[in-house]
Amino acid sequence: MPRLIEATTYMWENLEDHRDPKTDEINTTTLAEDAGAALDLYEDDKVPSGCGCPKCGEDRVDWLLLDEDGETVECQVCGMKYRVEVGEGVRCI
């Protein structure tokens, strides 16, 4: 959800970029295209390949919380808890 909020904020901040100077109306076609592009900006926030939730497959970092022990991840989508090793890289166990 945070990525959607950031994308929505981006859209409101750039709304005037989509105003047609002839009609003074918002061009909803370019606005929709820009919304898609804004959401794509946040698709890179993924955990390393193979480290997503083993139960539901969630792989967005903002939905997978690393516990205080630094080894346990809790999926905020389905509640699954699983272990990872963090060192020179991340290894999912």
Q: What is the pLDDT of residues 31-86, one digit of tens each?
A: 777 766 655 555 567 887 788 899 999 888 888 888 887 788 999 999 999 988 75
Residues 51 and 19 in one domain: no
Residues 36 and 50 in one domain: no
Q: Which domain holds residue 52?
A: 46-93
Residues 56 and 85 in one domain: yes
Residues 26 and 10 in one domain: yes
Residue 82 pairs in a beta bridge with 73
- The model's pTM is 0.50
pLDDT at 9 exceeding the cut of 80? no
Residues 92 and 55 in one domain: yes
Query: Who's near 46: CB < 8 A, 6+ residues apart?
Result: 52, 59, 60, 61
> Side chain identity at 29, as an amino acid letter?
T
Residues 73 and 91 in one domain: yes
Per the structure, the count of domains in the chain is: 2
Residues 72 and 37 in one domain: no
